[in-house]
Amino acid sequence: MRRLLVIGIGAGDPDFVTVGAVAALNRVDVFLVLDKGPATADLTRARRDVCERFITHNRWRLVELSDPERARATPAYVRAVDDWRDERAALLERALVDEVPDGGTAGFLVWGDPSLYDGTIRVIESIAAHGSMDLEWEVIPGITSVQALTARHRILLNRVAGAVHLTTGRRLAEAFPDNADDVVVMLDSHLVCRQYADQDLDIYWGAYLGTEDEILVSGRLADVIDEIADKRAAARERKGWVMDTYLLRRPDRG
Architecture of domain 145-249: 2-Layer Sandwich (3.30)
Q: At the topology level of CATH, where does 2-140 sit?
A: Cobalt-precorrin-4 Transmethylase; domain 1 (3.40.1010)
Q: How confident is the model at residue 143 (pLDDT cuts 50, 70, 90)?
A: very high
For 176-214, how does the pLDDT look when each residue is reduced to its tens digit (9 = 90+)?
998 889 999 999 999 999 999 999 999 999 999 999 999
Q: What is the pLDDT of residue 128?
A: 85
* From 65-74, 194-203, 214-223, the region with the lowest mean pLDDT: 65-74
Q: What is the pLDDT of residue 74?
A: 65
For 29-62, how does the pLDDT look when each residue is reduced to its tens digit (9 = 90+)?
999 988 777 766 788 888 899 999 999 999 999 9
Q: What is the pLDDT of residue 39?
A: 65
Q: What is the pLDDT of residue 118?
A: 85
Q: Please state the rounded mean pLDDT for residues 225-230.
A: 97
pTM of structure: 0.87
Q: What is the pLDDT of residue 31?
A: 95
Q: How confident is the model at residue 70 (pLDDT cuts 50, 70, 90)?
A: low
Q: What is the pLDDT of residue 72?
A: 62
Distance between CA atoms of residues 10 and 18, nearest Å: 8
Distance between CA atoms of residues 186 and 166, nearest Å: 8
Q: Which residue has the higher pLDDT, 102 or 164?
A: 164
Mean pLDDT of the chain: 90
- 136 near 2, Cβ under 8 Å? yes
Ranges of CATH 3.40.1010.10 domains, the chain? 2-140
The secondary structure element, H or E, covering residue 91 is: helix 77-99
- 189 near 169, Cβ under 8 Å? yes
Q: Which amino acid is at 233?
A: A
Q: Please state the rounded mean pLDDT for residues 2-16.
A: 92
- pLDDT greater than 80 at residue 69: no
Q: What is the DSSP string of 238-250?
A: HHS---EEEEEEP
Ranges of CATH 3.30.950.10 domains, the chain? 145-249
